[in-house]
Structure 1
């Protein structure tokens, strides 16, 4: 009997499907050629103008280096500018006719049969109550669509510490009972967490991949509506060549000032840039690792990631796997699409700049690894190689900018410290009178800033023209919020530059990273911020002192970069404050549509939490031993660890735990006991036979 996927695939004539494929490829080639031409002309003009600003017009190695770095950075900015402009034009001409959403009408899409789909959420040391609260909101939203029967949920844990994963199991069981989803909501903690998140997903696929035509990947902070999930499955059903369909997640639920700035910026400017990006990528888009649906069989067949065979940074497991998986599935002949028009796809911003930079440290190393794949992998699509380059430049732009500032400082110092060379060319007949051109430099800076800010103003025009300004606080508050966002972004740019430059250097020297869960809540303390930014502050103070000694004018030019670095610690602390963030919300500043218009998903996350509660004064490990229901649950999830030596060690540890309490064991020892069902059963029996004045007897009274 044919599955729904087979029926839909058969309903699409091959000739018609081929015509659609040729159409979008022609459009992609034409658009990319136009983008390349615009960027190169713009960059060449700006670089020529830059040379005219320099004292020797590019006549020495310092100025040549400055011009080269400027060209690379200006090209990088120019690409973003044209993507934003193109996105604005598409949104104001009725949308992109080549996008997946517009290749069939709404009625046809709604009538498309569904197929069995797994929704997986890999987690590692997460705050499980908040994490499963988001998953609960997704479940309830799917239930409201009437299509829940086609979906199963999998929580895939890589957590190592017993007190955390025992709490995960308890929370999962509580949520499954609450939703009546015992046969639809599953939990697995794999015994060996190799290869990070991609290894966790691979473990799921080896066990259950054959049971599901499609798989939706969510992060621990992901949130998607049932409508979006159903539409994604239906789009995959109607387009059998699509291997990955990536939604465009918006940020929401930010509490701190930093998170609110991030989500305001994302929701106001994001639609233009994602629309433009999708229009240039079309069927050769990137995969962002979450809030996306994957066709399981080709993903399993083509997206296995081997370890890099090189040296240093380029040896070992691939850290940023998502772009690589998109490139591999594209190489196999499948399409990868970014669809900005899919509704209600969300994630959360890191609450503080400290947490963002901690995440960026991992991402920087992972993205720089792509340089090996970009240059060495065979038969990859050019668009996916460019996606690798885009990810690399996201971090490499910072040390390039820093190098430009260093060369500019050296060039300015030469004019003061070293004798002026009027005859830099030994064969020239007339002297060269070196002279800075401050007015031309100012004009060049204004042009560069216009490339950064024009797309933002276009985003505001787009919001107003689509009558969405009320969703961002109204016509009066929207400009104020925008100015506040631009001010904070300007303060953060030098801080990110210096931090990313350090991350790139550490990655190139293959400094080992610690794999840890993300802190998705909390504020930055003063001591933490001061220690974190002490080097940058001292460096900026030294730089502007040297700049003032060289030339007061150069000192003034250095202030926009130096001041944010000098006051980085207060910036860190103030932006992390949730009270200040909520005050801005009450004032109607930095608001987003979900806060103004309401959102059932957001309401469920904040006002309909899971029923699981923390264990009070007891640890999760102690509760797992004492509580009869939880002890039975954890024993059912545990194993019978084999081997005579291991059994002897487990017995010694169990007796020590019984005699001296759980605190006498190390983290690894508690984990070993918690993984062994006989040990949990023995401890449970012993505890309930304990005398009232014993250690475990006292804990029983507190439980």
Structure 2
């Protein structure tokens, strides 16, 4: 099928519906924000008569509108589900019988990796492969492991694990491995490298993250939907978080799995064919992606110059500009990922995302031809982090206002006030209470609306039953209150760092380690000092203001113990045993998830030798790496490689830098020379001692 087969009336019909929904949605958001801002105006003593109060009003309006967007998205999702789903979604356009009759097309499954746990990551890919195999459609798929790993011990292990996986699955000629020698433009550059080399082999590509899992039936269904919808360039699923072990991960897992039912349904109903792309667990039409979604370097200065770091939203916007549709379809299901196990890991990830999202400001404001909905998606992503410093600024202004009222005499002619008559300050505590309660309702009502949805659609049992579901929501809400100020402080720092263009380190994600007390106090100490100082200052000003500050200050003071205890796996498992924070996937076993857990549990026996040492000494490993290496001995490089090989044989790999060792391990002749030279080494040489360890390991295995 080719672009243009979808009828024009159908295309215009969904755009008309989308525009109507968005108009009504924004009327609710801005209407409610206007009413709340009016209330704040009359709560403030001088009713906006000072520059300080005007600043507070502006910040409040922005933050309230941001919260209202989330509130009305959940409400719309609730209404959509109450009506039996969105009849305008592409999933609703085709019956199961029609999809089963739809021919398949060649599809590439991409797994970009960067210093990920090798066995763990490829075991997930193995589970996905097996699940597609069970659909009977495996012949239509190819799998590509795309490595950006720089450490030789990591990528040499990746090559061995890939070879073993391909042989075990009978996937020779179907499962491929490629490592880029030069790591340019992060993940998007890795995918671009694949497209330049192999893009024309397939019609579609399914992009996974290292922690992604997708059912074979869902992937096959996505391919068939793309076949029947030639105007769709990207089809995005809604990934659910699974396999949470620590208390923090289980909190995130429960919140994602339970609340996203409403939020994803509402978001999909608003965005329709102008949805965002989240970079993974999605299927993309390769030809238009290659033609229209190349990422240029930004021409600005600082953060707004150089390569685009967060590529996914930009690629969706470019696809939309080219006339293709981008859909989010929560009803597809069968899409999973994992959560960072600790607060520290989540914040480390957010530090990268914050910089990438703020960079989108340049694209949003300067890129021509983008659809308005995609510009709003950029704004939404930017606000996910900028809201934190705005909230912090609002708290600072509130503190200044309280200090002025407590320490300074009342001003009857404040700055900006003209006239013969004084401006009398007024206090309306009942209005202030009503405004605070309405803000809390925006934040917490969607959580309990999700409970009503579960009751109506009869899936409370999947979350442990109504009582346990209610207790889980309460527990998650309490912990979210504790975490909100900590995230606010961290995100504020990240936004400032991003604007100052502080360089970042990209690394693989921690998936198992808990947070220690020393680490927690070191990382959280600035926020703890800030919270403590603010509380002391608030107490010195006014007792009432002190109590008003506690919901923000107290979580900051308790940030270190919060981070430590949330990282504990024992606490997470204790709640699971009591069937709290439960998700449906833990109640009903799924073949894909069971396979992933089973494969990952089969850890290969630890070798005494490092992957690099095995690459040199073991003949089977050495021949494999030679087969994947190239001949790089040309000109001056030949002399440099000879020097590195000689130094490595004499002193061991520690005598070379990581870059030098990578160059050696990528050269076929050097690998051959290392193997021959190491086996001729004297017993007291580095390689002689390594051979002794290898011999004892082989003997132990045989015994």
Question: What TM-score do the two structures reach when normalised by structure 2?
Answer: 0.97
Aligned to 1:97: 87
**2:502 alignment partner, one of 479, 494, 511:** 511
- 1:666 aligns to 2:654 (yes or no): no
Q: Is the 8 A contact 1:136 1:610 kept in 2?
A: no
**1:654 alignment partner, one of 645, 648, 667:** 645
Question: Aligned equivalents of 2:336 and 2:379: distance in 1?
Answer: 26
Q: Is the 8 A contact 1:129 1:610 kept in 2?
A: no
Aligned to 1:481: 472
- Give 1:608 shift: 2.4
SS at match of 2:84: coil
Aligned to 1:584: 575
Q: Is the 8 A contact 2:49 2:417 kept in 1?
A: no
Question: Aligned equivalents of 1:107 and 1:273: distance in 2?
Answer: 29
**1:242 alignment partner, one of 232, 236, 240:** 232
- 1:463 aligns to 2:454 (yes or no): yes
Aligned to 2:242: 252
Q: Is the 8 A contact 1:175 1:610 kept in 2?
A: no
Q: Is the 8 A contact 1:621 1:670 kept in 2?
A: no
- 1:563 aligns to 2:542 (yes or no): no
Q: 1:484 to 1:611 in 2, by over 3 A?
A: closer
Q: Deviation per CA, 1:384-425, whole angstroms, max 9, x where unpaired?
A: 000000001000100100000000000000012222101236
- 1:224 aligns to 2:220 (yes or no): no
Greater shift, 497-506 or 451-460, is seen at 451-460
SS at match of 2:600: coil
**2:678 alignment partner, one of 667, 679, 687:** 687
Question: Aligned equivalents of 1:436 and 1:219: distance in 2?
Answer: 54
- 1:401 aligns to 2:388 (yes or no): no
Aligned to 2:543: 552
Aligned to 1:541: 532
Aligned to 2:267: 277
**2:159 alignment partner, one of 147, 169, 176:** 169
- Give 1:306 shift: 0.5
Question: Aligned equivalents of 1:564 and 1:420: distance in 2?
Answer: 33
- Give 1:619 shift: 1.1
**1:298 alignment partner, one of 288, 303, 312:** 288
Question: Aligned equivalents of 1:407 and 1:609: distance in 2?
Answer: 51
**1:18 alignment partner, one of 5, 8, 16:** 8
SS at match of 1:114: coil
Q: Is the 8 A contact 2:45 2:425 kept in 1?
A: yes
- 1:604 aligns to 2:595 (yes or no): yes
Q: Deviation per CA, 1:461-498, whole angstroms, max 9, x where unpaired?
A: 11122221111111221111111100110100000001
Question: Aligned equivalents of 1:427 and 1:212: distance in 2?
Answer: 71
Q: 1:426 to 1:49 in 2, by over 3 A?
A: closer
- Give 1:613 shift: 2.3
Q: Is the 8 A contact 2:298 2:306 kept in 1?
A: yes
- Give 1:172 shift: 0.8
Aligned to 1:116: 106
SS at match of 1:341: helix
- 1:631 aligns to 2:622 (yes or no): yes
Q: Is the 8 A contact 2:344 2:563 kept in 1?
A: yes
Question: Aligned equivalents of 2:577 and 2:594: distance in 1?
Answer: 17
- Give 1:152 shift: 0.4
Question: Aligned equivalents of 1:462 and 1:378: distance in 2?
Answer: 41
Matches within 5 A, 1:260-339: 260-339=250-329
- Give 1:610 shift: 8.2
Task: Return 5+ residue gaps in structure 1 as ranges.
Answer: none
Question: Aligned equivalents of 1:397 and 1:366: distance in 2?
Answer: 15
Q: Is the 8 A contact 1:615 1:623 kept in 2?
A: no
Q: 1:695 to 1:371 in 2, by over 3 A?
A: closer
Q: Is the 8 A contact 1:142 1:148 kept in 2?
A: yes
- Give 1:693 shift: 4.8
- Give 1:614 shift: 5.8
- Give 1:695 shift: 3.1
Aligned to 1:180: 170
SS at match of 1:350: coil
- Give 1:310 shift: 0.8
Q: Is the 8 A contact 1:305 1:318 kept in 2?
A: yes
Aligned to 1:449: 440
Greater shift, 270-279 or 519-528, is seen at 519-528
- Give 1:439 shift: 2.9
- Give 1:79 shift: 0.9
Question: Aligned equivalents of 1:609 and 1:415: distance in 2?
Answer: 61
Question: Aligned equivalents of 1:269 and 1:632: distance in 2?
Answer: 51
Question: Aligned equivalents of 2:418 and 2:281: distance in 1?
Answer: 63
**2:376 alignment partner, one of 373, 383, 386:** 386
Task: Return 5+ residue gaps in structure 2 as ranges.
Answer: 695-703
Q: Is the 8 A contact 2:633 2:641 kept in 1?
A: no
Q: Is the 8 A contact 1:162 1:671 kept in 2?
A: yes
SS at match of 2:331: coil
Aligned to 1:440: 431
Greater shift, 415-424 or 687-696, is seen at 687-696
SS at match of 2:111: strand
Question: Aligned equivalents of 2:505 and 2:325: distance in 1?
Answer: 34
- Give 1:437 shift: 2.9
Q: Deviation per CA, 1:610-652, whole angstroms, max 9, x where unpaired?
A: 8672652211110110111111111111111132322122112
- Give 1:512 shift: 1.2
Q: Is the 8 A contact 2:631 2:667 kept in 1?
A: yes
RMSD across aligned C-alpha pairs, in angstroms?
A: 1.4
**1:61 alignment partner, one of 34, 51, 68:** 51
**1:341 alignment partner, one of 308, 322, 331:** 331
Q: Deviation per CA, 1:246-281, whole angstroms, max 9, x where unpaired?
A: 011000011111110001000100011111000011
Q: Is the 8 A contact 2:246 2:568 kept in 1?
A: yes
Aligned to 1:374: 364
Question: Aligned equivalents of 2:600 and 2:380: distance in 1?
Answer: 39
Q: Is the 8 A contact 1:171 1:612 kept in 2?
A: no
**2:405 alignment partner, one of 387, 411, 415:** 415
Q: Is the 8 A contact 1:287 1:336 kept in 2?
A: yes
Question: Aligned equivalents of 1:458 and 1:515: distance in 2?
Answer: 38
Question: Aligned equivalents of 1:318 and 1:662: distance in 2?
Answer: 36
Question: Aligned equivalents of 1:184 and 1:604: distance in 2?
Answer: 20
Q: How many residues are treated as equivalent by the alignment?
A: 693
Greater shift, 396-405 or 475-484, is seen at 475-484
Question: Aligned equivalents of 1:54 and 1:483: distance in 2?
Answer: 32
